[in-house]
Amino acid sequence: MGFQDFMDAVLGRSRLPKAKSDKLFEISTACITLESKLGLKPSEFAGICFKTISTYAYESTRKEIQELLEYSSKDKDTKFRIEEDKYNFLWAIFKDSDFENIVANIYLVSQTLEERGLGEHILCAIYRFENESMGMIADSEVKTGRIKAVYWIYNFKQGNYYPFIPLSDRQRDSTFEFRLRAEMERELSIEKNMEKWYPLWEIPF
C-alpha cells in the first residue's frame, strides 16, 4: 500500500469524519520517553497533510495559513513550506530543532482549517524520529542502512497514532513497530486495529 492507497482508505466513504485534533500534543511528552528509553530523537522535520479543495474559500484559507505560519515563525527558528504532491494533496512541512514548535505549528494549521469548516479534509500529521543510540534496532538493520527513520503518524480521522518504519527495499520493520507500540501505548493513543497502520512510502521529508 502506498500513499494514494492510504488516502483512498481514508477518503473512500460518502461522508468524511471530522478531524480529531485533541490528541496532537501527546507526542510532545511521548518524545521524552522515545529519546531517553529507546534512543529515538525527534528529527527537525514533521508535516501535516490535507486534501485540496478547488474553491475560493480554500484559497483564502491557504493564504491565511501561510500568513499565520509566517507570523508564528517570526521570532523562532521554524522554517516551513507548503507544497502540493503528485496526488494533489497539500503538505505543510516544518523544520525546527525545537520539537514543541513543530507540534504547535501543526496544531495551528489543523485548528485554522477546522475553524474555516475544512476540518474534514485534514488527513494526517507525520513526525520523523531518528535513531540516536541504536536502542532497540537490530545491528544488522543499522549496518545495512535499511532503516532510515522512524515515523509516528497521527490519523486525524481515527484520532490515533501508529508507528511506521520504512526499509530501503520498500518493506517495513513490523517487528520494531510492534515493540514500539508495547513501549508507548501508555503515553500515546495508539491505533488498536493494525490493519489501519497504513504504510506511507512517499513521505516528502
Distance CA 66, CA 56 (A): 15
**pLDDT tens-digit readout, 64-103:** 888 888 887 777 788 999 888 888 888 999 999 999 999 9
pLDDT score recorded for residue 55: 67
Q: Which of 99, 94, 97, 101 is nearest to 47 (CA)?
A: 94
**pLDDT tens-digit readout, 33-55:** 999 999 899 999 999 998 876 66
**pLDDT tens-digit readout, 113-170:** 888 888 888 999 999 999 864 444 444 444 445 567 899 999 999 999 999 999 878 8
Host domain of residue 178: 3-9+18-196
CATH of the domain at 178: 3.30.70.1130
Q: Residue 144 falls within a domain, yes or no?
A: yes
pLDDT score recorded for residue 65: 84
Number of domains in the chain: 1
Distance CA 102, CA 95 (A): 7
